[in-house]
Amino acid sequence: MPENEKCDFLYYWMGDYLWTETSVKSLSDAMKTIYNAFETWDVTENCNNKYNNDIDKTLFQNRKLVFDYYHDYKKLQSLLPNIDSRCNVECTGYIQNITEACNKVKSDCQQKQTSHQSDHFCTWFKNENEKNAGGNDYCAQDKLSQLKCGAATEPGVVASERGPGAPSPTSSGSNNTTTVATALSSIFATIGLPTVAFFLYKVIMEGIKI
């Protein structure tokens, strides 16, 4: 994977954590603190802060969704049709979210009254669509329409397969996830953002190599 892509994945991973697990009010300020920590510490694979614009949580989430989608498109084409039909609600919702995110980031990148037109994401988005010209603009309607979920299951089949009183597949582990997230938030609040940045950086960059 190219070095610049690793850094983009790192940015979205950290940004997602900051928006969902902390009370951060300015993503750009938080990121500046993190990237300053990278420069202060002797990290071997340094990533520069290419995302200087302060964007709100909704726009960040839409951008992350589109970024991940562009990298996963070919896998999604083959995986979604074979997905367990019991997950069709989630699958359909995912495709709908992708479609809405594509429309919103495309509109935002075309807004002349903002500085977003020339920021790192919009430059990447424009370049990807130009590079993929000839039918591979993954936010184009014809590409979005190719994303299909598995065949629908008859109502009541899922419940009968699980048996009366059995927990739903999505409920398993939800309490554990909440507990872990709460614990992590407490730890991060105690040790401080720069230290969190270092460990996030090491874990993510090592994980990408695997």
Q: What is the pLDDT of residues 37-88, one digit of tens each?
A: 877 776 646 677 888 788 899 999 999 999 999 989 888 888 888 877 778 8
* 131/105 same-domain check: yes
Residue-range definition of the domain harbouring residue 117: 57-151+194-209
The number of folded domains in the chain is 2
* 96/198 same-domain check: yes
* 71/34 same-domain check: no
* 90/117 same-domain check: yes
b or e along 91-118 (b: 16 or more beta carbons within 10 Å of the residue's beta carbon)?
Answer: beebbeebbebbebbbebbeeeeeebee
- Within a 10 A sphere around the Cβ of 13, how many other Cβ atoms? 17
Let me know: does 205 contact 6? Beta carbons within 8 Å: yes
pTM, rounded to two decimals: 0.69
